[in-house]
């Protein structure tokens, strides 16, 4: 899946909201992780900020923090700049070609889109003391049976597919120190049809008893990682 889909209108046509409806939920996951570790960043940058709503939501809670969003898509940045403020700025720029360091770097559902995800992670590692990454976990039995990875390849441009173990191994292989990780119930953001609601009830129940087994079999969660 070439990166051109984010710049030639194809991604926007397939995803006209650029997923802003999920952004408050994702921002909440970030805030929960920061509070858990008593991290109070004064500057935050987001790689692949999309329409910018995650940073906007964070800015409503972190009143003393400045925010910079970076995206290679001019279409995404056009949407993001409608959310810009004095503390929240957006740049049509590859973060790797930018300058500056930050207290916190966000990669929220980005790694799975990037062809050279190893190079990206190595290249940005020293740009912030802390990094928070949100990574979809698509290598689950139910997802594979339903051909979900290929559906997501076509609809949202995923070209890498992870389980918890392979996601954490990628970070270790690229020099990160993993400080914490949690499963996030991303299935709550999905369709509301009866079949999906039934599966989600099973996911919720089994996660309480055996979270790793539940994720391996039923999927539905993403991985939120705090790293240095």
Read off the pLDDT of residues 26-55 as tens digits, 9 standing for 90 and up: 999 999 999 999 999 999 999 999 999 999
The total number of residues written for the chain in this structure: 228
Domain membership of residue 182 (yes or no) is yes
Residue 3's pLDDT band, with cuts at 50, 70 and 90, is: low
Domain membership of residue 215 (yes or no) is no
Domain membership of residue 70 (yes or no) is yes
With contact defined as beta carbons under 8 Å apart, do 158 and 138 qualify? yes
User: Which of these ranges, 17-21, 66-70, 165-169, 178-182, has the smallest mean pLDDT?
Assistant: 17-21
Distance, CA of 178 to CA of 226 (rounded, Å): 6
Q: How far apart are the first and last CA of the chain?
A: 30
Provide mean pLDDT across the span 149-171. Answer: 94
- Total domains in the chain come to 1
Structure tokens, 86: 């004095």
> At a CB cut-off of 8 Å and minimum separation 6, what does 42 contact?
64, 65, 66, 103
Domain membership of residue 192 (yes or no) is no
Q: Domain of 156?
A: 3-138+147-186+222-227
Domain membership of residue 128 (yes or no) is yes
Instruction: Please tell me what DSSP assigns to residue 106.
Output: E
Sign of CA dihedral 188, 179, 64, 125: negative
Structure tokens, 196: 């999906």
Query: What's the pTM?
Result: 0.92
- pLDDT value at residue 2: 56
Provide mean pLDDT across the span 165-193. Answer: 93
Only one residue has tokens 């954490």, namely 168
Domain membership of residue 38 (yes or no) is yes
Domain membership of residue 203 (yes or no) is no
Closest CA to 162 of 201, 200, 113: 113
CATH of the domain at 70: 3.40.50.150
Domain membership of residue 197 (yes or no) is no
């Amino acid at each position: 899946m070439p990166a051109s889909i984010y710049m030639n209108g194809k991604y926007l046509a397939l995803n006209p909201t650029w997923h802003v409806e999920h952004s408050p939920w994702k921002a909440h996951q970030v805030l929960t992780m920061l509070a858990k570790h008593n991290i109070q960043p004064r500057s935050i940058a987001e790689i692949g900020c999309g329409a910018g709503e995650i940073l906007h939501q964070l800015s409503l809670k972190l009143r003393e923090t400045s925010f910079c969003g970076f995206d290679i898509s001019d279409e995404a940045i056009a949407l993001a700049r409608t959310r810009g403020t004095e503390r929240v700025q957006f740049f049509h720029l590859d973060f790797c070609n930018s300058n500056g360091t930050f207290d916190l770097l966000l990669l929220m559902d980005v790694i799975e889109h990037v062809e050279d995800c190893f190079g990206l992670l190595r290249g940005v590692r020293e740009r912030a003391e802390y990094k928070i990454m949100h990574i979809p976990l698509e290598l689950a039995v139910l997802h594979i049976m339903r051909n979900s990875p290929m559906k997501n390849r076509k609809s949202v441009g995923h070209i890498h597919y992870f389980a918890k173990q392979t996601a954490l191994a990628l970070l270790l292989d690229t020099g990160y120190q993993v400080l914490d990780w949690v499963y996030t119930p991303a299935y709550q953001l999905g369709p509301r049809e009866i079949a999906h609601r039934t599966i989600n009830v099973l996911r919720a129940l089994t996660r309480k008893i055996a979270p790793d087994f539940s994720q391996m079999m039923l999927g539905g969660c993403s991985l939120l990682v705090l790293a240095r």
